[in-house]
Each structure stands twice: as C-alpha cells, then as structure tokens.
Amino acid sequence: MATFLPQFQSIKSSFAHIVLSVEDVSDLWPTIKKGFEERLPFKRASLNNKTRNPVLVDELPAEFILTTDARLRSRFPQEQSLFWFREPYATIVLVTCEDLDEFKNILKPRLKLIVQNDDREWFIVYVSKAPAHNDQATKMAKKVFAKLEVDFSSKKRERCCKLDIHGPDPNFWDDLEGKIMECIRNTLDRRILFYEEEIRKLSEQRFMPVWNFCNFFILKGNYSGDKPCDCFWDTSESLAFMFEVAHLHEDALREYDELELCYLETGKQRDFGGMEKGDDQATLLDSGKKALAQIVQDDSFREFEFRQYLFSCQAKLLFKLKRPFEVASRGYSFIISFSGALALHESMLPFCMREVWVITACLALIGATASNYEDGLAAPDVEKEFYRVQGELHTLCHTKFMRLGHLVGYGSDIERSPVNRNDMLGNVDKRKVFCQENLSQSVDHHKEFYIFLHSAITLVFPCSASLSMLPWPKPAVWPPLPPDASSEVLAKEKMILQESPRLKHFGIQRKPLPLEPSVLLREANRRRASLSAGNMSDLFDGRPSCPAWQTELLNNTRGCILLLLISCVWDMHAYNCIKMENFLDSSQTSVSDSSGTPSAVQRVSNVSMSRTLSSPGNFDGSIDRPMRLAEIFVAAEHALRNTISDAELWKSLSSVEEFEKKYLDLSKGAANNYHRSWWKRHGVVLDGEIAAVHHKHENYDLAANLYEKVCALYAGEGWENLLAEVLPNLAECQKILSDQAGYLSSCVKLLSLDKGLFLPKERQAFQSEVVRLAHSEMEHPVPLDVSSLITFSSNQGPPLELCDGDPGTLTVALWSGFPDDITLESLSVMLTATNSNDEGAKAIKSSEAIVLMPGRNNITVSLPPQKPGSYVLGALTGQIGQLRFRSHSFSKGGPADTDDFMSFEKPTRPVLKVARPRSLVDLAAAVSSALLMNETQWVGIIVKPINYSLKGAVLHIDTGPGLSIAEKHEIEIEKHEFGANNTDHSDNPPDNHSPVSADVKQLSLEDGKINLPDWTSNITSVLWIPLKAISHGLAEGTPAGTVSQRQSIVDGLRTIALRLDFGVSHNQTFEKTVAVHFTDPFYVTTRVADKCSDGTLLLQVILQSQVKASLTVSDAWLDLQDGFAHTGKGDGRPVSKFFPLIVSSKSRAGILFSICVVDTPAKDGEELDPISVLNIRYTISGDRNLGAHSPVTKELTGPENETDPLTFRSALVLQRPVLDPCFAVGFLPLPSNGLRVGQLVTMKWRVERLKDSGKDVDSDDVDEVLYEVNVNSENWMVAGRKRGYTSLSTKQGSIIVISILCLPLVAGYVRPPQLGLPDVDKANISCNPPGPHLVCVLPPAFSSSYCVPAA
C-alpha cells in the first residue's frame, strides 16, 4: 500500500472538491454546461456525518466531469477502493429524444446499460429541445419524458428530471440540486460504511505483525472527495480526507485525532527522523512540505515528520472550523510533548535541533493562530485562554532562544533574572560555581588535576538541573572547534574579557546567577567524547593504588570528599592554599558538627595531604585539553550554523544586536499576551525582562515605567525577595531621570525590605542616598512616605490621661529601619480624636532635632492642652534635612514587619485620654458653726484635690466686707483628717492644736496669695487663715418671753472669695466664695424675776451660748440706764458669787441683778441714757475644727490660763413698770374653734379708760382716741381701717370695743394683729389682759368635693 503514498499525496494536494460525473449520451453537455456550473458550489447541502446525523454544509464545492474525461477513465480498479474519495459521487445522465420509437429502440437500452452498475448513484436529466411555440414537439417531448420516468423512476426514488432548453422550468434547478444532493449523500453514506468496515478490519489486526499502518492511515484519512486528499496512510486518512472534502470538518478532525492516537500507540518507527536538512524548521502547520513517501519506512512513518504532518492536518481543519484558539492550545501541548520526544533523541539529532525546532514551531504557531484570530471570535474566557497560550508560546520560544544565545555567548548581554535563570538549586550550584571558578582560574596549568577535580566536583555535587527550566543541550558529543576558528575564538575571548558584571546601583554586587559560563564550561567539556567516559568513582576505580580509605570516604560522606579535594588543592598551589584555608575554616565547623570530633576532621585532612594526587598518571594522554569558554562558544556557533536552516533565525543569532532585538520581540509578545489573559503576573514579570533591556540601552524612561509595574506587583503582594532584585534597577533609572521623588521612594522601599536581602553596606548606601537628597536642594520637594521604614506606637501601658485643659508629655516609641543613626530635623505626631469625625488630626510637634538609632527609640513630645476626648496616634510627620516625610504605619509594639504591606491597621488603643471638664478641686469652709465676732479667729478652708495634683497651686484670698485678715499672723496648713469633727469634742482642751505641730506648716500670705506646699498636692488639707469679722453694732438683749429679736444670721455672715490657680502650668483655676458665720458668744435675754415689795426688782439676765465652745464667764456687770440703779453696793456686779460661770455649748446660764427704779432728774442738755449695757468678761475654750475658739492673738500669747478674758457687751433696754396707766387695752378671746386660713375672724380689743382725761373736755364728754392696728400684711388681711379715731367718754371706766375683721393668710403660729394707741404714751397703757404673742392658724379645711376615696 505504501506504494500509493505518492499518488495519494498528489491527489490530496490537487483535490479539494467532490466529483460529479456527467454521462453525455446525446452530446448535450456543451449546451447546458454553463447552466450547470453556475450552480456551483452548492449552497446549503445537507449531508450525513459518520454517526448518520444530518449536517448542513453551507458551501459544498463540486466539479462536473464528463465520463469520457481522462481523469475518470485512467484508473485501475485497485486504486478505486483506496482512493474512493475521488470517485464521482453522482452520475448525471444527459439525454434527449423526440421520438418514442427512437427512445424505445435506441436510447432505453443504452440507458439501461449505463445505469446497470448499482454501485453508482445516478439520475437522468432529460433535455427537451422543443421550442415553446411548437406544441407538437412539446407534446412529444412530454411523452418521451413520461416514458422515461416510467422506465427509470420508481416509487421509492425519482430519478428523472426534465430541462427545457428554450424555457427552463424555474423548479428544475432546485430539483436538480436535490437529486445531486441525494446522490452525494447516498454515495457518502455508502463509502463511509465501506471505510469503516475496512478500518475495523485493520484495527482488529493492529497488534498483529503483518499489520501495516500505512494502509490503515490512508484508509482512515481519506474519504469523500472533491479536493485532493490529505492522506498518507492507506485507509485511515482517506476517510478523514473524505470528510474534509465533504466539508464535514468535525468528522475529519475526529478521524485525524483517532489516527494520531493510533499512531502513537502502534505506529511509531524506530527511526525518529529529523536528520535531514531543513528539518530544524517545524512543519507542524505545513503538511505539504515533505512528501509522505519520503518519511515512510518499513510500512510506517517516521515520528518526526509524521506527527507534525498529523498536527498540520488537524490545524488546517481547526482553522477551517474557525477555532484558531484550539490550534494554539493544541499546538502548545504538541510542542511540549514533541520537545520531549526530541529530547529523547537529542543525542542523534543535530546540535540544538530541539531548541531550534521549538523556536520555529512556536513562531509558526504564533503567526498562524494570531492571523486567524479575530477579537471577539470566541467567548471572553476562551479569548483569555487563547492569549495565555500565545503568551506561553512566546515564553517557550523566548526560553529556547535564550538558550541558543547563551550557547553562542550572548547570554551575558541579557540581564539574568529568576525568569530566565537556569538553576534554582542555588546552594548546591553555588558550591559548584565556587569550586569551579576558583579552580579553573588557578590550576588550569595542571590540566589533569583540574579534570580530576572537575569530575570530583561533579560527583560530589551531582548535576542537579532537576529544576532547570533550560537544560543545556545534550548532544552525544559536544561540537568540536573547527580548525580555522582561531580568530573567532580570539574575538569571543575578547568579548568575554570585556564583559564585566555590570555593577548595580548602590554598589550592589552580585555574582552572576549560577547559569553560565561556568556550568556551560563543565557541561560542554563533560560531553566531549574523551571526557564523558568517567566520573570520579571510575577514576578511583581505575587506579590500582586506590586505597581503601579513599573508597570508603567516597562512599561515606561527600563532605569528606570535599575535604579531600581541598587538601589536594592545598598541595597544588599556594594561592589556592590560602583561598581554601578560608573555605576550610567555614566548612570545618559544619563537618565537625556531623562527625562530632573536630580532631577526626583534622586527621582526615592530614592524611589526605600526605597522599597527594598531583600526578595521577592514568589521565595523562587519554584526555584532550578541555575547551575554553570562548572555544565552546565558537564551536556551538558553528554547529548551530549547520543546524539552523531558517535564515531569519540565524540572522537573529548572528550578532548581539539582532539577538537582543529578537529577544525583546519575544519578551514583548509574551508580556502583551499574558496581560490580555488571566496570567497578569507572568506578563508583569516579563515586563521586567523588557525593562532590563531598555535599561541596558539607556532607555531609562521606558525601563522605569516597566520596572515600576514589576515593583508594584511584587511590593503589592509582598514578594520581597523578588522585589529586591528589581528595585535597585528602578532606583537607578529614577536617579538618572532625576525623578527625585521616585528615587527617594525607591530608596525607602529598599531600606524597608527584609534586612537579610542586602548587605549592611548596601543598606548604608541606601540611607546615604536618602540623606544626601534630603539635604540637597530639591526642585520639587515632595513629602516622602516612610511608613514601611519608620513605624511608631504608643508606649506600653495605659494611655496618658489628662484633665481638660492640661498640657502633658507624650512618649511615643519609634522603630527606625535605617541601618545607621539618622537625624530628624523635626518630628510631629498626629493625634486623631476617636470620638469626633469633624475634627482633623492635630499635629504635636517635637521641639528639637532627634537622632533616631536603628531599632527602637523613645521620643517624648510635649502636648498642649487638648479638647476632651480619646486620641489615637494618627500619623508621623517630620523632616530629614529639607525633606518632609510621613509615616502611617502603626506598629503593634515590635519592629516593623515589612510583610505587613496590606494592613494599615488603625491603632485602636488610645494613646491619650483627655477627660471631660470636671471638678478637679474643692474648697470649703472647715466648720459650719459660728465663730466669734470681732475676734481674730482661725477660719479653716479645706482644700480637697479630686484626683488631681495641686502641685504648685496658688490660693488667692479676698475677704469680703466686714472681714479682714490678720496679716501679722502666719497662715497654717495641715492635713485634713476626715472624721476629726466626730472624734474631737468641743470641751477638749485645745492643747493638741498647738500652733506648730508636726503636721502643721506655716505659710505666709503675699499679696493675698498663698503658695500651697507640694506635700499637699495630692491630699486634702486645711488652710487656717486668721480672720477677724468686724461688727460695729452692739449686741442687743431682749426681754424674755417676747418674740425673739435675735440678731439675724445674715448679719453674722461674712464671705471669703477664694481663687485657686493650679495645674501643670497654672492653667486651671477654681474660684469659690466661702461663707463663714460669725456671732457673739451669748444671746442675752432679761426678765424681771421678782418684784419686791420695796421696789427692788430682781433682774434675771439669761445668757444663751451661741457658739460650739465652752465659755467661762469670769465676771459680769451691768451698766444701768438712767432710771435704774443697783441696789446694795451698787458696783453692778451680780449678787451671786459663783463666778467663774461655765457655759457649755448651746446651753444657758442666768445671772441675777438686783436693781431698783429710781427717778432720774433730768439733766439739762443731756439726753438720758436709754440703754443698759451688760458687760461680761469671759474666756472661750473651743476647737477651731468645730467652731469658735480662742482668738488667735490670745493663742499666740501663751498658754490658755494666761489668756486675757474677753469682754462681751450687750445692750439691754429696761422698761420701767407702768405706774400711771390711763388706758387698759385688753385682747378679747378668740373664738374657741380656732383660726383657719381663709376664714374670717373678728379681732376685738377692749379699751377702757382708767382715769379721767385731764384735758378739758367738751360738753359731750367724748374724747377722740387714735388707734392703730399693727399687722403683718403677709400673714393677715385686714378688712376695715387700720388706723382711725374712735370716740371714748372721758369719764373713768368708759369702755369701747374695737373690732377688726381679719383673714389669716398663712397657717402656723403667727403674730396676731396688735392694737396700739399712738397718741398715748406707752407708760400710760396697761395691757390687761395682754394680747397673745402668737396665735395658731390652722390650715384651710380640705375640700372633699374633689377627693376620691381610697380604694
């Protein structure tokens, strides 16, 4: 079957439609050909697919071919079944006949002959030539056609149709198309059945030795046919191709899928292929590139070509199905899997065939899919996926391209990044790099030893490209250096020498990522034929003198082997000795850890030193000189030139510039596509690659833009290790672009990264940059956000609590992320009130420059008075040089965690609480009882701080009128003891209150101010101020029994205005006016105790103590007014001799005086003394805590018993008895039912003339007597005249009654109205019976009408 392959492929390439054969019986075709071909291609063809489901094909191309055509006639029957897809799908028999006889005799037998082959689908088109106007001819034609139908059509199937040349029936063409479709459908169904049967048969034999994939393939891939078939292998592809030709693409695709599966399972050839010229260019989208016959071998196909061919067929169908995204995703998978297959055969393929193929495949796929794809073609998620795959393809291509670049020595031109870096097993490879680099530099003149070490290192550190994204090519033999390439080698060497690791900004030095040149050097030399033979164990084994201990070491720990190597190097070269010494120093520790005894290590080291390997003779002569790196580059370049047939690709590798251009294109393509997919991170990372190229070419603007994107991604998600790679580059670009703000921000970010990511000196460089810029003149100074670098928190413990209006001192803990001390010119802490939103944050500024040390710093700022509320730390602002900075980052009490990038946690704990205004202090009088009037008394002021310190408080004292401070006395202050009032008793002697006691301090008054001592700042204290209340009036005594006319309390009240200035900065003021009550010691009342018959009156003077103190009366005398005289000796002293008389607090005492009434002759020009004065000498014994006490002056003079007695004087008015009464006024009794508010009552007085009037009276003997009713209008309402004249007979004994209607207004004991006779001297009026002093007035009667009885 394989012999048909060329034919098959040629058919396939030239055949794209189905064939309809025309049996032109009556030479009609030239006439009607045009009409027929106008119908092509068929629209809306309905076909059945493989599963017999109808499929509507929009456009079905076809071709009419005469049966006499050579293309149909020259086929061998054998070919027919194989290439059945190209056989006609329908046979159209064209006939015409105008005579029945002719039809019967000639045409009918001929037609029978033609249609007798049942295999073919056929139908007859009867062409009528009869003109429309010729009825006869028309009739005849109808007859013939009717006869034709009878003979050839059946009930099941209509096989005839009629075409009228001169007037075609409009339905004819539809009829014709219908018949053609029916034929095609039937033929297709039949052929599908046939192929299926064939395939089934072949499938059954699949695992038998005689089975032939070629046959199977052609059969499966080719069936229906209008167009050349796509098939290679026999049956299988025929079917697929038939579907394709019939535009049943889905079915064709399915067939190809099955075919691929089948091939991968059973059809693979041992010979992989790919060795021919041009094979490096992928043909996965170009099925016709290579003839099938070329790739067939032993009845099957070579994998290399055939898999690509199959994929190209699938891709073609998918493009036809408008599914380019599927081509892309299938293509990517295909490339990955095919790349794997190439890797398996890499040793046989040309050098770097795999890489080149992948690059060309990716590029082809990218180009084809992108050109076939239109935006909006697919659903959004499919579209995203499409772009992702595009990105993946770009990346894969980019990766492989990089690999080629590295091989020819362009790798150093591309900045190495984690994206393009080879090996992720950093530590292991770094060790290798270390060893190799040092060794290769120093010992290459001992080449055999170098080789030995090289192998040893390889053994110790097994080549662990386990995670390598870009494994080095693994040809069987590394390409050798061409003989005439010495100039190229020189050029490359020059290039290598010129290249120096680009110094990163800030002096960041990094070793090149462990990719090349060292690893390539090793890999290439390893793969050279002579070097690939052995590894270290082989070397050891090959040495007859290999001691057992070495083998043991070899088998035991690699660490020991390392020591062995080190010792060898030691032996070799002094320079290396020194270098390795350091190496050993650090490794010894680690090895000794594992072995447990350092001496053991030393021993091993010593032993190995004694057994030098400086001349391992086995190696001499058997090993070529290792290639140098430049040689490897040149060799690879030459080999690649042989491999790469694509001129474009080779051009990209021909120079560094072209290489970079291509590299950039691929990176951009990948990044752009990733950005349009879900894989944003991939895109951004590739942006970083592009930025690196721009950076290198000094396109700093572009580079900075891209770097910013990358940094934003890494910083946003907290990938610091990755950020640390890119950020210095961004900073450099920003610096060059004079983007000071950006540069500063980058420096700050660099500083805030994890400390382990940079060396201390690098971090210092960052800081010095910040400081340098901060102190320079910035063009556009911008606030710098240092949230990640300087964090702050309140100190541990409760928040600072302040009272309203108080300033304070706030301590804030700052964590500095700077590596060195840094000076802040100013620093402000923002306080934000938590309880009110309207108020913005307030800045609290620190007054002086602050030097921040690395780590924690405690900063103290003074706090002006704040409004009441709770405050949290808002932000930190400050200045470094000219640079304003700002930090929002609140630290929870530890150093800033830089990975806390996403949470600017608002500090919830308040740092300051300012209390609402409240009483901070209270001032009150120490005693409530009265003090002595007119004497200097201690007035106690209790100063009570209420949870507030009174440190430095000043009390201003301003005494009111009638009160003065005895300034010559000190002011005392003492601790106030609660309950002292209860414990002390007024009768206690005041000894325990000596003026200078242990806890009493003396203060002096200056300008009315007293500075309170500090010890009183937090305790309640009493301030004793010597004050003297002045009252110029004389106390008045009153007769006993009369309503008290006591001195009003108000008269004794004095006020002291106090103002206390206190608080941290005397910002608080408390003002209070304290009332102090002063009084006389006694209230004096008198009464006549007895009237003696001799006219002597016993006058009882009652002394009522008014103070809470014990009064001792030592003497008392009475200076009588005129009209009275003392009886007896007349010295005015009382008769009794029981002085001293002690009057306790609130008690009474009485003194009797014996007086008599005397007539006092009126002295000319002198007024009679109307007042008697009672003089009392007394001493007082009281406690100042309770009230009245000894006057201050007295206390100062000495002990109590030596004090001078005080003198109290009280005026007394003595009334002479009524000796000559003319009128008697008697108060008539009130009604017995009592008085009630609101109830009228009649007050009656009886006025009786006791004596005849001495006046000359009128004949009617009537005298007018003036009367007056004195009444308190608040208590009584009087109806009638309160004052008036009444008539009274002048005769003795005449009586009148004066009545007045009164209305009591208030309830209680009230003074009733009094009747007076103003015209009559009081001495002539006797009251008999006297009126009551008080009457009882009841409350008004309850009104029951509105009362509801209680339930």
C-alpha angle 1103-1109-1110 in degrees, rounded to nearest 5:
65
- Collapse the DSSP code of 160 into the 3-class scheme (helix H, G, I; strand E, B; otherwise coil) and give the result: strand
Residues 442 and 569: their CA atoms lie apart, in Å, by: 10
CB 387 → another protein: shortest distance, Å?
A: 12
SS3 of 497-549: the string is HHCCCCCCHHHCCCCCCECECHHHHHHHHHHCCCCCCCCHHHHHHHCCCCCHH
Omega before 1140 within 30 of 0, i.e. cis? yes
Of 835, 756, 744, 818, which is closest to residue 781 (Cα–Cα)? Answer: 744
Of 511 and 772, which CB lies nearer to another protein in the complex structure?
Answer: 511
Count of positions (residues) in the chain: 1351
CB 59 → another protein: shortest distance, Å?
A: 32
Q: Are 15 and 227 in contact (CB under 8 A)?
A: yes
Supply the DSSP string of 1080-1136, one letter for each residue: -SEEEEEEEEEE-TTSEEEEEEEEEE-SSSEEEEEEEEEEPPTTEEESTT-SS--S-
CB 285 → another protein: shortest distance, Å?
A: 22
Q: Are 1303 and 1274 in contact (CB under 8 A)?
A: no
Of 532 and 589, which CB lies nearer to another protein in the complex structure?
Answer: 589
E-strand stretches of 953-1081: 954-959, 963-965, 971-975, 1000-1003, 1009-1011, 1021-1029, 1035-1036, 1038-1039, 1053-1062, 1068-1079
Strands 1325-1327 and 963-965: unpaired
CB 897 → another protein: shortest distance, Å?
A: 6
Structure tokens at 921: 């202090």
CB 323 → another protein: shortest distance, Å?
A: 16
CB 279 → another protein: shortest distance, Å?
A: 21
Q: Are 896 and 789 in contact (CB under 8 A)?
A: yes
Of 815 and 885, which CB lies nearer to another protein in the complex structure?
Answer: 815
Supply the DSSP string of 449-469, one letter for each residue: HHHHHHHHHHHHS---GGG-S
CB 432 → another protein: shortest distance, Å?
A: 10
CB 682 → another protein: shortest distance, Å?
A: 6
Of 361 and 1192, which CB lies nearer to another protein in the complex structure?
Answer: 361
Of 278 and 893, which CB lies nearer to another protein in the complex structure?
Answer: 893
Q: Are 1102 and 1084 in contact (CB under 8 A)?
A: yes
Radius of gyration from C-alpha coordinates of the chain: 65
Of 337 and 1042, which CB lies nearer to another protein in the complex structure?
Answer: 337
CB 578 → another protein: shortest distance, Å?
A: 14
The dihedral sign for the CA sequence 890, 892, 896, 901? negative
Of 319, 304, 431, which is closest to residue 365 (Cα–Cα)? Answer: 319
CB 889 → another protein: shortest distance, Å?
A: 14
856 phi and psi, to 5 degrees? Answer: -80, 140
Omega before 1039 within 30 of 0, i.e. cis? no
* Bridge partners of residue 1287, in order along the sequence: 1264
Structure tokens at 807: 């300033």
Residues 1214 and 1157: their CA atoms lie apart, in Å, by: 10
Structure tokens at 425: 């097993």
Of 414 and 863, which CB lies nearer to another protein in the complex structure?
Answer: 414
CB 394 → another protein: shortest distance, Å?
A: 15
CB 518 → another protein: shortest distance, Å?
A: 13
Of 414 and 810, which CB lies nearer to another protein in the complex structure?
Answer: 414
Of 168 and 471, which CB lies nearer to another protein in the complex structure?
Answer: 471
CB 93 → another protein: shortest distance, Å?
A: 55
Of 281 and 420, which CB lies nearer to another protein in the complex structure?
Answer: 420
- Collapse the DSSP code of 985 into the 3-class scheme (helix H, G, I; strand E, B; otherwise coil) and give the result: coil
CB 492 → another protein: shortest distance, Å?
A: 26
Of 1331, 1305, 1302, which is closest to residue 1316 (Cα–Cα)? Answer: 1331
Of 315 and 591, which CB lies nearer to another protein in the complex structure?
Answer: 591
CB 418 → another protein: shortest distance, Å?
A: 4
Q: Which residue has the tokens 């094979």?
A: 279
Residues with Cβ within 8 Å of residue 838, at least 6 apart in sequence: none
Of 1305, 1307, 1300, 1241, which is closest to residue 1273 (Cα–Cα)? Answer: 1305
Of 515 and 850, which CB lies nearer to another protein in the complex structure?
Answer: 515
CB 180 → another protein: shortest distance, Å?
A: 43
Q: Are 873 and 812 in contact (CB under 8 A)?
A: yes
* Bridge partners of residue 883, in order along the sequence: 880
The H or E element that residue 862 is part of is strand 855-863
230 phi and psi, to 5 degrees? Answer: -90, 5
Residues 1121 and 1102: their CA atoms lie apart, in Å, by: 18
Of 430 and 661, which CB lies nearer to another protein in the complex structure?
Answer: 430
Rounded to the nearest angstrom, the gap between the alpha carbon of residue 998 and the centroid of all alpha carbons in its chain is 62
Of 1036, 988, 1344, 1311, which is closest to residue 1144 (Cα–Cα)? Answer: 988
Q: Are 163 and 141 in contact (CB under 8 A)?
A: no
Residues 771 and 1130: their CA atoms lie apart, in Å, by: 107
Of 740 and 898, which CB lies nearer to another protein in the complex structure?
Answer: 898
Of 192 and 389, which CB lies nearer to another protein in the complex structure?
Answer: 389
Of 379 and 851, which CB lies nearer to another protein in the complex structure?
Answer: 379
* Bridge partners of residue 59, in order along the sequence: 43
CB 433 → another protein: shortest distance, Å?
A: 8
CB 680 → another protein: shortest distance, Å?
A: 7
Of 845 and 892, which CB lies nearer to another protein in the complex structure?
Answer: 892
E-strand stretches of 711-803: 784-785, 790-794, 800-802
Of 421 and 1072, which CB lies nearer to another protein in the complex structure?
Answer: 421
